[in-house]
């Protein structure tokens, strides 16, 4: 029998074997090109969306920064504190919808998209209440940990007036994930750009024209977030493209809430641990001898890397949607091609941005401040900032494709190890023991980001994508009156009446 099999193999011409291998390679190449086009088409508008929404807070920071060094430091501290305690939390919790809605849409379980989204909004709004109470007493908390009393007073004033923006974000973030999971990027783009374009003149008028200064800058953020959310609500209510997915099944409400929190908590842990580390740098800088200068420069660096991170998040979000859709549809090979495409795009973008930032380091600081000392210090830290741009590019994309697509397990522990087991001790050592100041803090965070990117790269490389596709489809089709599109027991209401 063995000799017969050997003879059969020998009868196959070498040219035919080579042709088969060539076709296989060509098929993979065609698949990669196809997914590259899809990711690019979705990533481009998602980059604009994520950057536009982030720029709303950056514009307010810039407007306040030109009021004086005290305003810049106070608003910078407030922005850091509100990010780590509120906006990062909502951003992370709503990330569960990238898995749930993405896989439901890929499996053509359309009504589950609306159910998950509605459950998310209902779940996130109560979260804003204790966060708002915390912001009310921010000044006492900051003074208790050694921050300057004047800076703490300005920070607390800004944070209290940012509370309306927090509730707006609790509605906006789930709507963004709902639209993203279906590839509806154009409405998101138009609403985000419209909100940003309206925010710039409104913020300027409230800060300078009406003399509200920092209070006006904070209130303008809330107006922009709510305006963006209302535009998306109107689109979901009236657009025919959302007709299949805007329904909700009350019979699935309880299970959907539980499923949402099952994915929301680890997603929030991953996001918050990372964001908290960056924002903690600004707070640590406030403990240095020249607290005002150090806080201002570190805040500018964090704002810059965060802005770039949102560019990469747009790419990662597009990849996360693609991976979730393909896993839900049972296509693991296409899911892997999506990741390869996203990494290629992010690498090219990182090279362009880091090179540009390095050559503009001498005058980049003037965007945020007119203080010569601040501008000079920013130029000194810029090379480390460029390295962070490169590392964060891989980190944002891999976090999106692994964490948000629901395939990484134990990512919270990896974040704790990278950022708090390695990064923060290195930062404290460099800053307070070796007396490198703000640059030492940034070396620590760069070390943590690099380690985390390497860990996620290993997870991606060794993930069993066939198994992940099976788990995704099992989760979507498991129970619930909405798991089948033609169920006669389905109780349906409109998500937005």
Q: What is the pLDDT of residues 106-134, one digit of tens each?
A: 878 888 889 999 999 999 999 999 999 99
Of 78-82, 248-252, 336-340, 413-417, where does the model show the most confidence? 78-82
Average pLDDT of the chain is 82
User: Taking 70 as the threshold, does the pLDDT of residue 487 lie above it?
Assistant: no
Domain boundaries defined on the chain: 40-477
pTM for this entry: 0.76
State what percent of residues in the chain have pLDDT above 70: 87
Alpha-carbon dihedral of residues 43, 46, 48, 53, nearest 10 degrees? -150
How far apart (Å, rounded) are the C-alpha atoms in residues 412 and 398?
A: 14
What was the pLDDT predicted at 371?
82
pLDDT band at 197 (very low <50, low <70, confident <90, very high): very high
Alpha helices in 246-290 (DSSP H): 253-285
Using alpha carbons, select from 78, 91, 229 the residue that is nearest to residue 168.
229
User: Taking 80 as the threshold, does the pLDDT of residue 50 lie above it?
Assistant: yes
What was the pLDDT predicted at 26?
63
How far apart (Å, rounded) are the C-alpha atoms in residues 377 and 362?
A: 10
User: Taking 60 as the threshold, does the pLDDT of residue 7 lie above it?
Assistant: no
How far apart (Å, rounded) are the C-alpha atoms in residues 354 and 493?
A: 49
> In the predicted model, what is the mean pLDDT of residues 46-51?
86
> In the predicted model, what is the mean pLDDT of residues 346-369?
87
User: What CA–CA distances, in Å, run from 447 to 217, 414, 422, 451?
Assistant: 34, 14, 8, 6
Of 171 and 331, which is predicted with more confidence?
Answer: 171
Summarised one tens digit per residue, pLDDT across range 277-302 is 777 777 788 788 877 788 778 878 88
> In the predicted model, what is the mean pLDDT of residues 154-164?
95
Q: In the structure encoding, which two tokens stand for residue 202, read together? A: 């409104």
Q: Which residue has the tokens 């080579």?
A: 18
Q: Return the number of other C-beta atoms located less than 10 Å from residue 19's C-beta.
A: 11
Bridge partners, residue 248, by sequence: 493
pLDDT band at 10 (very low <50, low <70, confident <90, very high): very low
Give the helix/strand (H/E) hosting 492. strand 492-494
User: Taking 50 as the threshold, does the pLDDT of residue 154 lie above it?
Assistant: yes
Q: In the structure encoding, which two tokens stand for residue 341, read together? A: 């495409």
Range name among 84-88, 211-215, 293-297 with the lowest pLDDT average:
293-297
User: Taking 80 as the threshold, does the pLDDT of residue 77 lie above it?
Assistant: yes
Summarised one tens digit per residue, pLDDT across range 187-196 is 999 999 999 9
Range name among 14-18, 365-369, 405-409 with the lowest pLDDT average:
14-18
Helix 291-328 to helix 465-476 angle (10° resolution) is 80
What was the pLDDT predicted at 178?
94
pLDDT band at 224 (very low <50, low <70, confident <90, very high): very high
User: Taking 90 as the threshold, does the pLDDT of residue 472 lie above it?
Assistant: no
pLDDT band at 104 (very low <50, low <70, confident <90, very high): confident
How far apart (Å, rounded) are the C-alpha atoms in residues 131 and 82?
A: 9
Q: Which residue has the tokens 């307010």?
A: 60
Q: Are 212 and 455 in contact (CB under 8 A)?
A: no
How far apart (Å, rounded) are the C-alpha atoms in residues 33 and 41?
A: 12
State what percent of residues in the chain have pLDDT above 90: 27
What was the pLDDT predicted at 189?
94
How far apart (Å, rounded) are the C-alpha atoms in residues 299 and 278?
A: 9
What was the pLDDT predicted at 291?
77
Local structure of residue 404 (DSSP, 8 states) = I
SS3 362: coil
What was the pLDDT predicted at 401?
66
b/e map 420-459, b = 16+ CB within 10 Å: eebbbebbeebbeeeebbbbbbbbbbbbbbbbbbebbeeb
Alpha helices in 137-239 (DSSP H): 138-144, 149-160, 163-181, 185-204, 213-238
Local structure of residue 109 (DSSP, 8 states) = -
How far apart (Å, rounded) are the C-alpha atoms in residues 424 and 441?
A: 8
Of 45 and 33, which is predicted with more confidence?
Answer: 45
What was the pLDDT predicted at 27?
66
What was the pLDDT predicted at 270?
79
């Amino acid at each position: 029998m063995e000799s017969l099999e050997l003879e059969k193999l020998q009868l196959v011409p070498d040219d035919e074997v080579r042709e088969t291998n060539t076709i296989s390679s060509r098929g993979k190449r065609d698949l990669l090109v196809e997914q590259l086009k899809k990711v690019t088409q979705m990533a481009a508008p998602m980059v604009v969306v994520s950057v536009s929404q982030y720029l709303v807070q950056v514009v307010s920071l810039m407007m306040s920064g030109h009021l004086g060094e005290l305003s810049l430091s106070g608003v910078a501290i407030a922005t850091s504190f509100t990010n780590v305690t509120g906006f990062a939390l909502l951003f992370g919790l709503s990330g569960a919808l990238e898995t749930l809605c993405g896989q439901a849409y890929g499996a053509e379980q359309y009504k589950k998209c609306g159910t998950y989204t509605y459950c998310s909004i209902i779940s996130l709004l109560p979260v804003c209440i204790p966060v708002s109470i915390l912001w009310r007493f921010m000044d006492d908390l900051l003074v208790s940990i050694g921050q300057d009393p004047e800076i703490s007073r300005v920070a607390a004033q800004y944070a209290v007036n940012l509370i309306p923006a927090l509730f707006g974000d609790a509605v906006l973030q789930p709507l963004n994930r709902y639209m993203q999971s279906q590839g509806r990027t154009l409405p998101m783009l138009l609403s985000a750009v419209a909100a940003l374009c309206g925010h710039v003149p409104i913020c300027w008028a409230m800060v300078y024209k009406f003399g509200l200064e920092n209070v006006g800058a904070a209130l303008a953020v809330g107006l922009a977030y709510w305006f963006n959310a209302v535009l998306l609500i109107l689109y979901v209510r009236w657009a025919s493209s959302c007709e299949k997915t805007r329904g909700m099944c009350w019979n699935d409400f309880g299970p959907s809430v539980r499923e949402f929190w099952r994915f929301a908590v680890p997603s929030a842990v991953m996001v918050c641990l990372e964001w908290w580390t960056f924002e903690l740098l600004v707070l640590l800088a406030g403990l240095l001898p020249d607290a005002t200068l150090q806080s201002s420069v570190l805040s500018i660096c964090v704002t810059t890397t965060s802005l770039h991170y949102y560019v990469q998040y747009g790419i990662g979000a597009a990849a996360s949607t693609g991976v979730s859709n393909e896993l839900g549809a049972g296509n693991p090979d296409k899911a892997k091609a999506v990741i390869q495409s996203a990494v290629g795009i992010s690498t090219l973008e990182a090279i362009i941005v880091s090179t540009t930032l390095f050559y503009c380091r001498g005058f980049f600081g003037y965007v945020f401040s007119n203080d010569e000392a601040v501008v000079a210090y920013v130029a000194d830290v810029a090379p480390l900032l460029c390295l962070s741009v490169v590392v964060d590019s891989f980190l944002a994309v891999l976090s999106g494709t692994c964490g948000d697509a629901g395939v990484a397990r134990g990512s919270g522990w990896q974040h704790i190890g990278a950022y708090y087991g390695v990064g923060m001790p290195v930062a404290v050592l460099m800053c307070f023991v070796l007396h490198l100041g703000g640059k030492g803090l940034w070396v620590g965070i760069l070390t943590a980001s690099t380690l985390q990117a390497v860990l996620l790269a290993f997870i991606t490389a060794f993930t069993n994508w066939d198994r992940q596709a099976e788990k995704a489809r099992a989760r979507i089709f498991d129970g619930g009156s909405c798991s089948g599109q033609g169920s006669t027991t389905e109780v349906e209401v409109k998500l937005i009446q």
